[in-house]
Amino acid sequence: MKLETILFPVLLFALSLLILSCVSGPSSNQQGKVKIFQDFESGQGLAAGDSAMVDLDKSGIDSNSTQCAKLSFETTGDPGESSQCVIVTSNDGSAIDTSDYSYLNFYILDTQGANTHKVTVLDESEAIWSGWVDIKSKKNTWVKITLSLRALSSLDRKAIKEIRIGEWNAGTYFFDNIYFSEKKTALLQ
């Protein structure tokens, strides 16, 4: 028997295995990497922007969440970079290397209505990026908001230290589970 006649079926089998592993790969591959920035469980790393009242609250997104952030304010208008917002640092207070990730995600429960969100991000050197994220919340429903990290090219993505989320319309808003992900659809659990 020629060597080729033996090798061909072996190669064919190996190729089939490779294709199968790509098609039905483990869910961790589909999910990609995720890294939590802040889940508000420790009660650390939450502060209020100008004109805002901020507190911890028990209306978390799911049964894994015992606490989330509550933002209330009475003035309507442009939140700028530091007003009408929650100011959030990471769970352990350190800057986060986000270079392996493509998206910033957070959940919002908006009791005011359907709003877009002013997201402001600072790196360790205090460089600042700020912009509106045009994904509307839905009144009284937890909604995931996702922002591409490509927008933050002016920052040191290896050292993201603070995230502020602000709103235009006076009212009360809840936030939970701020995290980075490789993939847009990735969930924390």
Give the footprint of Ca ion on this chain (CB under 5 A).
Answer: 39-40, 60, 65, 68, 176
> Is 136 within 8 Å of 115 (Cβ atoms)?
yes
> Is 182 within 8 Å of 102 (Cβ atoms)?
yes
How far apart CA 63 and CA 115 sit, in angstroms, is 26
87 or 152: whose CB is closer to Ca ion? 87
40 or 179: whose CB is closer to Ca ion? 40
Min CB(160)–Ca ion separation in Å: 19
> Is 64 within 8 Å of 189 (Cβ atoms)?
yes
Min CB(99)–Ca ion separation in Å: 25
162 or 176: whose CB is closer to Ca ion? 176
For the beta carbon of residue 27, count every other beta carbon within 10 angstroms: 7
Residue nearest to Ca ion (CB): 65
Min CB(95)–Ca ion separation in Å: 21
